[in-house]
Amino acid sequence: MKRFLFYIMVGLLLAGCRNDKSPKSPLESYATITDIFDEAEIKDLTVILDFFNRQISATYSNDNEDIVTCYQRFFEWMLGCEITGQIDIQIPIEAQRTMYSQLSDQTFNQIWRIDQKRYRSMRDESDTLEIVEMRYDIEGKYVKFLQKYGKENSFIKQYYDVFEDFRELTPGHIAQVMRNYKQLNMEDLRNQLFIAIHYLTYNDNAAEESGKKSYLCTKIKM
């Protein structure tokens, strides 16, 4: 009897320990993610996704609509941006770069690499401007995720194939996502993560390009 009670107490103690663990990210329900990213990286991916979802919900939600509806409104806005030629995803770059500080360097570097470019003022050759460009790291886990996910998702495969050819985010990528978004099931968190990283990458680079245009400069070979 004592032994029986002992086993019950041990079982209750172990159950309590399991309940004390922090809840897993919903992203962990996808093998295409857990096969590539470790637990800490998935937590950071969740930070990115949560940030993007909060931003588009704040801008595109009416009366606390569900996130899938918010994505639909966001996509419609972006399609209108393509028509006008003024692309603005309406996410403050300052808030976005603050979000980066919540990520580990390990996770950041598995998604992006930073290239520096230097420009010389056309007004004063001694005056230079340095900007940074975010690119997907060809050796990083995020590109491996796109490759793996593309085996079951033709939209992602097309996106990955173009990246493999050019090694950067191209106008073709931008057009593909803007025009063909209906091919993506936005209830799938992998598609939400893909859209978040795609548009956050674009947003950061657009902010840098805006500074370059106002500077009136030419590129210096480095």
Say if residue 14's pLDDT is above 70.
no
- Give domain status of residue 5, yes or no: no
Q: Look at residue 47 and tell me if it is in a domain.
A: yes
Q: Is 2 part of a structural domain of the chain?
A: no
What is the model's pLDDT at position 37?
A: 98
Mean pLDDT of 194-221: 72
More confident residue, 214 or 137: 137
Instruction: Identify whether 184 is part of a domain.
Output: yes
Residue 68 in domain: yes
Confidence of residue 17 (pLDDT cuts 50, 70, 90): very low
More confident residue, 139 or 9: 139
11 in any annotated domain: no
pLDDT on residue 119: 57
Q: Which residues have C-beta within 8 Å of that of residue 191, sequence separation ≥ 6? A: 153, 184, 185
pLDDT, residue 93, reads 94
pLDDT of residue 35: 97
Domain count, the chain: 1
Judge whether residue 175 has pLDDT over 70. yes
Please check whether residue 162 lies inside any domain of the structure.
yes
Q: What is the DSSP-derived secondary structure letter of residue 102?
A: T
Higher pLDDT, 133 or 186: 186
d(CA 91, CA 32): 28
Inform me whether the pLDDT recorded for 146 exceeds 90. Answer: yes
- Which contacts of 91-96 are long-range, i.e. CB under 8 A and separated by 24 or more positions? 91/52, 91/55, 91/56, 91/59, 91/199, 91/200, 91/203, 93/203, 93/204, 93/207, 95/51, 95/55, 96/51, 96/200, 96/203, 96/204
For residue 135, which amino acid is it? R
Higher pLDDT, 69 or 83: 69
User: What are the pLDDT digits (tens) for 113-129?
Assistant: 988 765 555 555 555 66
Report the pLDDT averaged over residues 33-50. 98
Does residue 21 lie in a domain region? Answer: no
Could you tell me how far CA 145 lies from the centroid of its own chain? 12
Residue 182: domain span: 27-220
